[in-house]
């Protein structure tokens, strides 16, 4: 097991050059050339290295971060600190072991490419937590690194969570009418220009509603009932054919003939009345 802090005494014997001061100076102006993750990770280690060197005068830690930052800047794979290389408080081993495992799972699950900034932040803050936890005499610094690590991990988790399927927009409620009356001439089953226009409106509504269509043929009371029933059927089929020719599926169309039953205007037998010579279209 390597105790990095135990190497500090050797630094005094070797001088600053032996402690890697050159790497610390190099990391100040390094221009990363790797991926987005490598670049972000290099900047994380640069910040840590310069803090340890310029603020804490901890050349051992500064050099260690500088080395890692330079490696990341050149595109080399840099893994989070191995806990076995540090003298950590026994009480923290379980939590930190799990934290590293969670970090490695995220990194190996493409966090480096999907959320490079957050992934680099998590790795840098984890290493900071490990380094500060080994020193174990600056509670605020330990908490700051630890909290920042967990915050970065929450960002990674949120960004990499499966996105919910977009909800389909409900079809707007149609404002088109659903009932139409088509009028016919005396003893006729052909559409007039006026009735053809009304059928066109019914066709538009049928296509918009996409529901069953009921077509009912009627006659007035002029003529025998036995004659009027098939006449009402022909009228209904004339309208049905016009709708089907216009693209309304025939499977949606139901035809019914009632002859002179169900009059729109009640009249005695034998009385012609155009209001009764009709076909009704109901779109359910």
> Which residues have a Cβ under 8 Å from the Cβ of 134 and sit 6 or more positions away?
4, 5, 86, 87, 88
Q: Provide the pLDDT confidence category of residue 33 given band limits of 50, 70 and 90.
A: confident
Domain stops at, among 133, 160, 187: 160
Which residues constitute the domain of residue 144? 4-160
Domain stops at, among 130, 160, 190: 160
pTM for the full predicted model = 0.56
User: Does 171 map to a domain?
Assistant: no
204 in the same domain as 141: no
User: Does 172 map to a domain?
Assistant: no
Q: Provide the pLDDT confidence category of residue 18 given band limits of 50, 70 and 90.
A: very low
148 in the same domain as 13: yes
- Which tens digit of pLDDT belongs to each residue from 229-274? 999 999 999 999 999 999 999 999 999 999 999 999 999 999 999 9
Mean pLDDT along residues 120-149: 96
- Which tens digit of pLDDT belongs to each residue from 52-110? 999 999 999 999 999 999 999 999 999 999 999 999 999 999 999 999 999 999 999 99
Q: Provide the pLDDT confidence category of residue 199 given band limits of 50, 70 and 90.
A: very high
User: Does 167 map to a domain?
Assistant: no
- Which tens digit of pLDDT belongs to each residue from 136-167? 999 999 999 999 999 999 999 999 998 888 88
199 in the same domain as 155: no
Q: Give me 98's structure tokens.
A: 């799990």
φ/ψ of 82, rounded to 5, equals: -85, 125
Distance CA 210, CA 39 (A): 57
153 in the same domain as 16: yes
147 in the same domain as 271: no
171 pLDDT more than 80: no
108 in the same domain as 10: yes
Dihedral over Cα of 45, 76, 98, 107: its sign: positive
10 pLDDT more than 50: no
Closest CA to 85 of 4, 19, 146: 4
Q: Output the domain CATH number for residue 217.
A: 3.30.1330.60
183 in the same domain as 98: no
Our count of domains for the chain comes to: 2
Dihedral over Cα of 37, 2, 93, 58: its sign: negative
Q: Provide the pLDDT confidence category of residue 284 given band limits of 50, 70 and 90.
A: confident
What pLDDT, on a 0 to 100 scale, did the predictor assign at position 6? 40
Show the DSSP H helices in 59-192 as ranges.
59-73, 90-106, 112-114, 116-135, 139-160
What pLDDT, on a 0 to 100 scale, did the predictor assign at position 169? 78
Strand order through the sheet with 253-257: 179-183, 278-283, 213-217, 253-257
72 in the same domain as 121: yes
211 in the same domain as 94: no
Percent of the chain topping pLDDT 90: 83
What pLDDT, on a 0 to 100 scale, did the predictor assign at position 26? 94
144 in the same domain as 70: yes
Q: Provide the pLDDT confidence category of residue 22 given band limits of 50, 70 and 90.
A: confident
214 in the same domain as 133: no
What pLDDT, on a 0 to 100 scale, did the predictor assign at position 269? 95
User: For residues 15 and 238, which has the higher predicted lDDT (pLDDT)?
Assistant: 238
């Amino acid at each position: 097991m390597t105790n990095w802090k135990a190497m500090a005494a050797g630094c005094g014997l070797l001088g600053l050059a032996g402690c890697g001061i050159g790497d610390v100076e190099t990391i100040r102006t390094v221009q990363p050339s790797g991926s987005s993750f490598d670049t972000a990770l290099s900047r994380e280690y640069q910040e840590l290295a310069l803090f340890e060197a310029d603020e804490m005068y901890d050349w051992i830690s500064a050099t260690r971060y500088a080395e890692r930052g330079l490696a990341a800047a050149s595109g080399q794979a840099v893994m989070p600190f191995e806990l076995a290389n540090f003298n950590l408080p026994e009480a923290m081993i379980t939590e930190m072991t799990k934290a590293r495992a969670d970090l490695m799972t995220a990194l190996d699950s493409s966090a480096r490419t999907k959320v490079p900034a957050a992934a680099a932040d998590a790795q840098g803050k984890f290493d900071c937590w490990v380094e500060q936890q080994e020193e174990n005499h600056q509670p605020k610094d330990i908490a700051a690194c630890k909290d920042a690590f967990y915050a970065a991990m929450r960002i990674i988790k949120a960004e990499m969570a499966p996105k919910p399927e977009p909800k389909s927009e409900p079809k707007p409620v149609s404002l088109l009418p659903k009932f139409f009356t088509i009028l016919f001439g005396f003893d006729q089953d052909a559409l007039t220009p006026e009735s053809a226009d009304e059928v066109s409106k019914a066709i538009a509504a049928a296509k918009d509603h996409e529901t069953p269509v009921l077509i009912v043929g009627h006659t007035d009371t002029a003529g025998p009932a036995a004659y009027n029933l098939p006449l009402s059927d022909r009228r209904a089929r004339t309208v049905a054919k016009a709708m089907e020719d216009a693209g309304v599926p025939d499977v949606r169309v139901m035809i019914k003939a009632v002859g002179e039953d169900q009059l729109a205007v009640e009249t005695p037998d034998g009385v012609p009345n155009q209001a009764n010579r009709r076909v009704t279209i109901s779109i359910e």
